[in-house]
């Protein structure tokens, strides 16, 4: 199998990983960005792409999706290689250099590795009724709102993601209905009130999707509502916004020093393994504050120190970007 060789392999395509791809390019390093999710953006894309983020420096307010798009554009001039929907399964060292083995067997040879995996491997919580349905039309997040233009969409869940999707799809989908198995919601009450009262989105509580109809794609669902019995709803798509489970996955077997579900690092963002660094929510050190803004700074620290590890003649401080267009 052909071997992809890069200077820096970045494990995790969330905001920290995407900024690291830019910064590595700025330092003249070639990069590959790996993520088990099929879309770049990590937690933002999976859970709150339409939500306004208020604590990113320089942006009084920016949608999660727009932040991810900006980060991709920022890194684009340096042409990182994106390996999305590909899980980093193994890590070994050959001649002191790390080699990542993907779950499909492809090896990635690198001069250094930067782990920016956020909370670790994400897996969507399954929709039980989907076990018996083998067609298309069931999604766990919405990469492109336009894909649901003119559709009847049923959203299953009661958290912020479910209500964010309901708001985002207004004016795009033909109809949107929320189905939740309880009366109480995990979503912020102001958001629930807006969706229910201002936007008029139907919300079925104490209800569960018990059957999905269609052959090649979804064309309706059966919802069992407590004390009312089953109801048939039109549906071209189901958004199963039931949340995600996260754990370190294969990273837990790489021999890294761990602090619960995080990776212990020093002030250079180095782990206990040679030429392996970590940054963002997955990195742990005393006094750590898990913010996107923190991850950006950690990414720059990790990349600059990795650059010196790769080339001892390189300077730790790269100079200011404004001086090196």
The model's confidence at residue 82, banded by pLDDT at 50, 70 and 90, is very high
Per CATH, 4-122+244-323 and 126-240 having the same topology is answered yes
Which residue, 254, 261, 248, 269, is CA-closest to 16? Answer: 269
- Model confidence at 324: pLDDT above 70: no
In the sheet with 220-225, reading across from the earlier edge strand, the strands are: 207-213, 220-225, 229-233
From the list 158, 157, 156, 138, the residue with the least C-alpha distance to 148 is 138
The annotation status of 88 as a binding-site residue, yes or no, is yes
48 in a labelled binding site: yes
Element (H, E) at 96: none
- Residue 211 is assigned to a ligand binding site: no
CA distance 238 to 137: 6
Q: Bridge-partner residues for 33, per DSSP?
A: 10, 82
Q: Are 307 and 27 in contact (CB under 8 A)?
A: yes
Domain boundaries, the chain: 4-122+244-323, 126-240
Q: What average pLDDT does range 222-230 have in this prediction? A: 94
281 is in an annotated binding site: yes
Annotated ligand binding at 82? The verdict is no
Q: Is 35 flagged in the annotation as binding?
A: yes
CB 85 within 8 A of CB 37: yes
pLDDT band at 6 (very low <50, low <70, confident <90, very high): very high
CATH architecture of 126-240: 3-Layer(bba) Sandwich (3.50)
- Topology of domain 4-122+244-323 in CATH is FAD/NAD(P)-binding domain (3.50.50)
pLDDT digits (tens, 9 = 90+) for 90-99: 999 999 899 9
Cα separation, 177 vs 255, in Å, equals 46
**What pTM value is reported for the model?**
0.78
């Amino acid at each position: 199998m052909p071997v992809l060789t890069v200077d820096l392999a970045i494990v995790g395509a969330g905001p920290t990983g995407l900024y690291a791809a830019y910064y590595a390019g700025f330092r003249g390093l070639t990069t590959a960005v790996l993520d088990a999710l099929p879309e770049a953006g990590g937690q933002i894309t999976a859970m709150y792409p339409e939500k306004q983020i208020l604590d990113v420096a320089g942006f009084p307010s920016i949608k999660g999706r727009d932040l991810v798009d900006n980060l991709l554009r920022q890194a684009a001039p340096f042409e990182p290689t994106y390996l999305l929907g590909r899980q980093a399964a193994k890590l070994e060292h050959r001649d002191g250099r790390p080699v990542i083995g993907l779950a499909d067997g492809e090896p990635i040879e690198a001069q250094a590795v930067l782990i920016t995996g956020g909370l670790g491997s994400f897996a969507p919580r399954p929709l039980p009724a989907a076990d018996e349905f083998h067609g298309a039309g069931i999604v766990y997040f919405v990469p492109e709102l336009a894909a649901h233009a003119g559709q009847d969409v049923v959203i299953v869940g009661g958290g912020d993601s479910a209500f964010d999707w309901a708001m985002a799809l207004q004016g795009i989908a033909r109809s949107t209905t929320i189905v939740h198995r309880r009366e109480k919601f995990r979503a912020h009450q102001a958001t629930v009130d807006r969706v229910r009262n201002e936007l008029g989105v139907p919300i079925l509580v104490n209800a569960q999707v018990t059957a999905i109809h269609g052959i090649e794609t979804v064309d309706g669902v059966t919802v069992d509502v407590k004390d009312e019995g089953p109801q048939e709803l039109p549906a071209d798509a189901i958004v199963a916004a039931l949340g995600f489970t996260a754990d370190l996955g294969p990273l837990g077997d790489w021999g890294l020093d761990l602090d619960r579900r995080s990776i212990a690092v020093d002030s250079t963002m180095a782990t206990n393994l040679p030429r392996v660094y970590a940054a963002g929510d997955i990195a742990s050190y005393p006094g750590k504050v898990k913010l996107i803004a923190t991850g950006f700074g950690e990414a720059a620290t990790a990349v600059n120190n990795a650059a010196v590890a790769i080339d001892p003649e390189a300077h730790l401080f790269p100079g200011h970007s404004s001086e090196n267009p």
